[in-house]
Amino acid sequence: MKWLRGALFADPAIVIATIVCATISFIVSFFEPTGRAMHRVAQAWARLLLRFSGVNVHVEGLAHIDPNGSYVFISNHQSYMDTPVVLAHIPVQFRFLAKRGLFQIPFLGTHLGRAGHIPVPREDPRAAVKTMQQAAEVIQEKRISLLIFPEGGRSRNGIMRPFKEGGTYIAIRAGVPLVPVALIGTRAVLPYGAAVVKSGRVSVRILPPIDTRNLRLKDRGTVTEQLRELILNEVESRQAAAVS
């Protein structure tokens, strides 16, 4: 990632932390196949990255989730910093849906696969549906959570894009709650196209979960739009409060 390369050159401490954590993660993957230990290493790396970058994170709403529960977290996506922010501050074992191309990158692809992250073939809609079905099965079987950025990529202009329905589909099939997560301030510390992280303050707002047990797959469009509205309202209200 361009931003990480820039950060590495800007701060040798990030270089050392990344190399050490990556090495530890690779080693523990041979002894702990569930990916839980690798996730804890990733959380430690994310905390170090934020600390060395001077990014302070304020979290609200942790009481809404059980650290031992299974959820599908749905978050807005404004910056590459979104990933380390949620890794460091959501105390739940979760995995990401990631572009299949990332799994083809040497070392990174091995790490993603061993940790249990799920590749998504965006170019093949039929295969993507099969992937979502498999993701629901993974949540049920391994009793873990999933975190999804349903915009399909970072916003280029700061305006929240429409949400794709995949996350809602997975949650309904798995029978687990959907948890809206609003990220505020990540774009300011690392704007789209920037290579170096700026110091600053970021907020994470975990909203009350939406129960999916009585929902059907045909409800996913309505629920997805509801999630977007909840997150958008939270982001806009926090931004307005910061300006006033």
Q: What is the pLDDT of residue 44?
A: 92
| pLDDT tens profile 80-136 | 899 899 999 999 999 988 777 667 665 566 777 778 888 877 667 777 788 889 899
Residue 230 CA: distances (Å) to CA of 71, 94, 121, 158: 17, 22, 28, 17
- Name beta bridge partners: 118: 97
Spatial contact of 210 and 244, defined as CB atoms under 8 Å apart: no
Residue 9 has which token pair? Answer: 């050159």
Both tokens of residue 233?
């309202």
What pLDDT sits at residue 243?
66
Sheet holding 72-75, edge to edge: 55-60, 200-206, 178-184, 72-75, 145-148, 94-99, 118-120
- Cα four-point dihedral sign 73, 241, 203, 195: positive
pLDDT for the residue numbered 33: 80
Burial bucket for residue 172 (CB in 10 Å: 0-12, 13-18, 19+): buried
Domain count, the chain: 1
Q: What is the pLDDT of residue 2?
A: 47
**DSSP-assigned states of every residue in 88-111:** HH--S-EEEEEEGGGGGSTTHHHH
- For residue 192, what pLDDT is reported? 84
Domain range for 194: 2-243
Name the pTM for this structure.
0.89
Check if the beta carbon of residue 53 is closer than 8 Å to that of residue 6: no
Round to whole Å and give the CA distance between 19 and 59.
Answer: 28
Q: Is the dihedral of CA 100, 1, 230, 64 positive or negative?
A: positive
Structure tokens of 69?
């529960």
Spatial separation of the C-alpha atoms in residues 82 and 84, rounded to whole Å:
6
What pLDDT sits at residue 9? 43
In whole angstroms, give the CA distance from residue 127 to residue 157.
30
C-alpha torsion angle, residues 227, 233, 238, 239 (rounded to 10): 110
Return the CATH number at 63.
Answer: 3.40.1130.10
Distance CA 190, CA 196 (A): 7
Estimate the crossing angle of helix 220-243 against helix 166-174, to 10 degrees.
120
pLDDT, residue 28, reads 87
How high is the mean pLDDT in each 10-residue block of the chain (244 residues)?
Answer: 48 78 84 86 91 94 95 94 93 85 65 79 75 90 92 86 95 97 94 83 97 95 97 88 68
